[in-house]
C-alpha cells in the first residue's frame, strides 16, 4: 500500500517515534511505500510530500518535534480544500492516511473520514485531553519537564521566602497542572475545570505563612479561570486559527497575591519548554506502540478509528468518540491533589 503520514497541530515529544514505528512496520512487515505530508494537512493541500523509509528515520527516536513539520492548517478552511486534498491523493496514488494530531487535527480527520477518505488517527498532545485514551504521548514528557523545573524553584523560593507562581500548559484542561502539582508538591494548583477564588487562595497562603517561614509554589494551568466576577481578566487575544492565545493568568494571580497578602511573589511561565526536546522513555514506548498499532489498523481497514491506550493495552476507538468531548481531569485525582494544598 502507499500510505501517507502527517503530523498536525502543536508539536509534541514522541511524534518522530510514531512516524518511525509506522515506517518500520509498514516497510519491513507489510512492504508498504511510505510518504509524509509536510506541515500537517498543508502538504496534502499543496501536494508537498517526502518519501519516508527506515533509513531516513534513523536517529529520530529521541528527537523532539516532528521531521515532517506541523501546522494548524485544515482543508475545510478553504472552499476548494477537499478538492485539493483529493487531487494530491489521486496524483500520488495514496491508499490511506495516518493522521497524528490533537483535538483540532483529529476532528478534521473525523470529518475527512466521513467524507470518504481512508484514514486512521493517532492521539497526540502534551495536554492529554483526548477522550477514548487513558494517555496521549508527550504528556509524560511535559509533566517531567515541569516537575524538574519546579524542583529547582523550590530551593530559590525557600531561600527568599517567596511565593512562586508557575504557569504550565493546559488550554482547556488541567491534566499537566494536576500531575505536576502532585509530583512537585505544589502549595496550590489552579486548573480550568475548577474555577478559583483569589480571596480563598490568598487566605490559604496567609494561614500557611503565619505558621512560619514557608515558601509557596502555585502551579497554574494557562487556561485556569477565576470564579465569575471575582477577578477581572484582560481582553482575549486570538491567533490566526481562532484559538485564544493563552498565557498571562499567572501574572494576574501573582499581582493579586502580592497586593492582597504583601508576600513577595514571582512568576515563571514554562511555556513551550514543556513541548520541546527529547521524549521520556515512557513516551517513546507509547509512541512506538501507537505507531505500530496504526499501521496494523490501516492494513485491517479500520477507517475512521483512532489507536488508544486503555488499561495498558493498545485498542481502537472511533474518531467520532475521541473528538466528541475533551477529557477533563478525573475528580478523584483532583481530590487527591487537593489534599496537599496550602
Ligand atoms: O499542544 C497544546 C498546547 O500545548 C496548549 O496547551 C497550548 O495552549 C497550545 O498548545 C499553544 O500552542 P501554540 O503556541 O503552538 O499555539
Instruction: Locate 189 and state its grid cell.
Output: 494548583
57, 19 contact by CB (below 8 A): yes
| CA–CA gap between residue 142 and residue 224 (Å, rounded) | 18
**Residue 341 forms part of a structural domain:** no
Strands laid side by side in the 2-7 sheet: 49-52, 33-37, 2-7, 96-101, 119-123, 305-310, 313-318
- Active-site residue (options: 127, 129, 283, 296): 127
Please, which pLDDT band fits residue 74 given cuts at 50, 70 and 90?
very high
Is 127 among the catalytic positions? Answer: yes
pLDDT tens for residues 75-132? 999 999 999 999 999 999 999 999 999 999 999 999 999 999 999 999 999 999 999 9
Residue identifier of the C-alpha nearest atom 13 of ligand 1: 10
CATH of the domain at 225: 3.40.50.460
Per-residue pLDDT tens for 13-28? Answer: 999 999 999 999 999 9
Q: Domain check: are 302 and 240 in the same one?
A: no
One domain for residues 199 and 223: yes
Phi, psi of 266 (to 5 degrees): -125, 155
Within a domain: residue 328? Answer: no
Q: Same domain for 250 and 284?
A: no
Domain co-membership, 167 together with 240: yes
Residue 329 within any structural domain of the chain:
no
Give the CATH number, domain containing residue 50.
3.40.50.450
Sign of CA dihedral 155, 156, 162, 167: negative
Q: Based on the fold, state whether residues 165 and 60 are members of the same structural domain.
A: no
User: Any residues with Cβ below 6 Å from ligand 1, and which?
Assistant: 10, 125-127, 169-171, 222, 239, 246, 275
- Residues 146 and 115 grouped into a single domain: no
Ligand 1 pocket test target in 69, 123, 145, 169 with most atoms within 8 Å of CB: 169
Same domain, 236 and 164: yes
Domain final residue, candidates 249, 276, 303: 276
Closest by alpha carbon to 141, among 63, 74, 89, 202? Answer: 63
Nearest in space to 83 (alpha carbons), one of 47, 50, 53? 47
How many CA atoms lie less than 13 Å away from 296 in the CB half-sphere? 10
The whole-angstrom separation of Cα 265 and Cα 258 is 6
Q: Report d(CA 11, CA 7) in Å as an integer.
A: 8
Tally of domains within the chain: 2
**Do residues 92 and 56 share a domain?**
yes
Q: Which residues contact 328 (CB under 8 A, 6 or more apart)?
A: 129, 173, 193
CA nearest neighbour of 302 among 54, 127, 121, 147: 121
> Does some domain include residue 337?
no
289/270 same-domain check: no
Lowest mean pLDDT among 186-190, 199-203, 239-243: 239-243
**206 and 134 belong to one structural domain:** no
Q: How far apart are CA 22 and CA 52, in angstroms?
A: 10
Domain span at residue 289 reads: 2-138+279-322
Strand partners, 226: 196
Mutate to test the pocket of ligand 1, among 7, 9, 10 (most ligand atoms within 8 A of CB): 10
Q: Which atom of ligand 1 lies closest to the CA of 138? A: 1
Which of 70, 171, 274 gets mutated to test ligand 1 (max ligand atoms within 8 A of its CB)? 171
pTM of the predicted protein model: 0.95
Assigned domain for 332 exists = no
Is the residue at 336 inside a domain? no
Asked if residue 246 has pLDDT above 70, the reply is no
Do 208 and 118 share a structural domain? no
Q: Please tell me the distance between residue 326's alpha carbon and the centre of ligand 1 in angstroms.
A: 15
**Cross-strand partners of 98:** 5, 120
Indicate whether 146 belongs to any domain: yes
pLDDT > 80? residue 283: yes
Q: Same domain for 168 and 214? A: yes
Amino acid at each position: 500500500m502507499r500510505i501517507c503520514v502527517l503530523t498536525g497541530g502543536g508539536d509534541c515529544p514522541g511524534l518522530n517515534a510514531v512516524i518511525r514505528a509506522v515506517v518500520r512496520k509498514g516497510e519491513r512487515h507489510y512492504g508498504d511505500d511510505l510518504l509524509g505530508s509536510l506541515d500537517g494537512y498543508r502538504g496534502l493541500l499543496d501536494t508537498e510530500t517526502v518519501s519516508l523509509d527506515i533509513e531516513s528515520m534513523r536517529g529520530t527516536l529521541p528527537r523532539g518535534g516532528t521531521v515532517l513539520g506541523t501546522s494548524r492548517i485544515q482543508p475545510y478552511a478553504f472552499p476548494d480544500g477537499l478538492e485539493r486534498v483529493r487531487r494530491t491523493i489521486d496524483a500520488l496514488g495514496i491508499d490511506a492516511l495516518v493522521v497524528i494530531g490533537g483535538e483540532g487535527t483529529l476532528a478534521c480527520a473525523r470529518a475527512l473520514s466521513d467524507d470518504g477518505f481512508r484514514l486512521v488517527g493517532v492521539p497526540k498532545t502534551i495536554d492529554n485531553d483526548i477522550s477514548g485514551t487513558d494517555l496521549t504521548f508527550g504528556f509524560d514528557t511535559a509533566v517531567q519537564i515541569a516537575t524538574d523545573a519546579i524542583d529547582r524553584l523550590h530551593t530559590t523560593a525557600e531561600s527568599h521566602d517567596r511565593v512562586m507562581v508557575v504557569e504550565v500548559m493546559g488550554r482547556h484542561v488541567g491534566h499537566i497542572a494536576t500531575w505536576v502539582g502532585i509530583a512537585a508538591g505544589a502549595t496550590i494548583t489552579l486548573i480550568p475545570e475548577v474555577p478559583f477564588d483569589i480571596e480563598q487562595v490568598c487566605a490559604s497562603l496567609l494561614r500557611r505563612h503565619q505558621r512560619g517561614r514557608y515558601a509557596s509554589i502555585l502551579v497554574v494551568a494557562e487556561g485556569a479561570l477565576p470564579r465569575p466576577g471575582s477577578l477581572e481578566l484582560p481582553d482575549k487575544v486570538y491567533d490566526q486559527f481562532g484559538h485564544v492565545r493563552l498565557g498571562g493568568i499567572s501574572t494576574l494571580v501573582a499581582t493579586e497575591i502580592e497586593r492582597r497578602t504583601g508576600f513577595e511573589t514571582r512568576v515563571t511561565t514554562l511555556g513551550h519548554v514543556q513541548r520541546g526536546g527529547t521524549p521520556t522513555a515512557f513516551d517513546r514506548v507509547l509512541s512506538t506502540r501507537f505507531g505500530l498499532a496504526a499501521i496494523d489498523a490501516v492494513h485491517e481497514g479500520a477507517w475512521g478509528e483512532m489507536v488508544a491506550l486503555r488499561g495498558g493495552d493498545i485498542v481502537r476507538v472511533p474518531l467520532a468518540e475521541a473528538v466528541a468531548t475533551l477529557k477533563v481531569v478525573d475528580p478523584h485525582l483532583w481530590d487527591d491533589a487537593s489534599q496537599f494544598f496550602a
